[in-house]
Homo-oligomer: A and B are copies of this chain.
Amino acid sequence: MRSVAIIGIGQTLIDEQWDRSLRQIAAQAILATLKDAGRENAEGLFVGNMMSGTINNQNNLGTLVADWAGLKDTGAVKVEAACASGAAAFRSGLMAVASAELESALVVGVEKMTDMSAHDVTASLATAADADYESDMGVSFVGLNALIMRRYMHEYGWKHADFAPFAINAHANALHNPFARLHHEITRDDFEKATMIASPINLLDASPIGDGAAAVYIVPAESVRGKPRILVAGSASATDTIAIHDRSDPLFLTAASKTVQEAYRQAGIGPNDIDLFELHDAFTIMSALSLEAGGFTERGQGPRLGLEGQIVPKGRVPIATRGGLKARGHPVGATGVYQLVEVVQQLRGEAGETQVPDACIGMAQNIGGSGASIITHILKRE
């Protein structure tokens, strides 16, 4: 398998973009990425998206986006793995270039979620859960995560306020990211007093939806002249049971652990070598679980990393360095590509006020469903 490099990135503001269609948002990110890469076309287009069928009345999304972005002859598909669709699309593009089937690939994650009622969006998001055994019982995605968080607090003795640092760090970092959905800092007091959504998850535990697209351009590493280059050093995908009730231990992200271990193995590194970790903080509880599955702390000790100040850009394990899902925003099928774009920004030294000092190796982890579909990538500057 040949090595693959990322030579271009692009993203749009995450917002309620009522004046722009799905294809326009995707094309905006693609055109920015082509410009950044110095290219005009790509042999393949991989679109990460979850809900174009349920929300936008549109399938055949690969061709739709290729057509609108002016990539007429490009082979194109949509790749879906619920909220991990972005990373799934990236991994598909990666394998296409690694196999030498393609010499270049564009990966774009896009989601347009704000043109319908909150009720309908919630129902659409629930399609990531088990339709027959979870969603049909009326449990929403917030509800599923609330069950996990409640159990976690019970088992390990944490209070709700102990999760505050995850949200505070995310908001503080998003303040300096012009593409982020939320641009306001929050305090511990704000966090504790926020509106309850599904106990114990309140408004500031949860990430906001939005309309947005992010893209990357990949080529064989051997074709990149000059250094430094941003290489894909690890890529792994694994699944767990789709329904939480089928898991023997709902408080450990087994699939996350498997993908992280495999990605570490491919890259020849361990958790101490990771300079930043863009994890899937759809809810604060997921930050804790991802840090534990990633080997950054013991089981049940995720919140401690936040309380000890280790997760900030200059800490030991920087997370959500550009705002994370919590404050950059979570346009679900696009999120995994935003994460990769942000890791590239860090490795290039283009992260401004939230730059992780001397960032050389970054990890991104995208989660679909409640820990059901997990994809982890490690990027490296060399």
Contacts and interface: CB of A to CB of B under 8 A. Distances in A.
A149 interface: no
A60 B82 contact: yes
A382 interface: no
Contacts of A100: 1, 98-99
Interface footprint category on A: 35 or more
Number of copies: 2
Contact of A60 (B66, B132, B372): B372
Interface string A215-247: 000000000000000000001111111110010
A57 interface: yes
Nearest to A135: B57
A51 B81 CA distance: 14
A80 B124 CA distance: 18
B62 A373 contact: yes
A368 interface: yes
Contacts of A242: 60, 63-64, 67
Closest 4 CB pairs of A and B: A75-B237, A99-B99, A53-B53, A60-B82
Given A44-B237, A59-B127, 14 more contacts: A23-B132, A50-B59, A52-B53, A58-B127, A60-B82, A60-B372, A62-B81, A62-B239, A67-B240, A74-B239, A75-B238, A76-B239, A77-B88, A95-B101
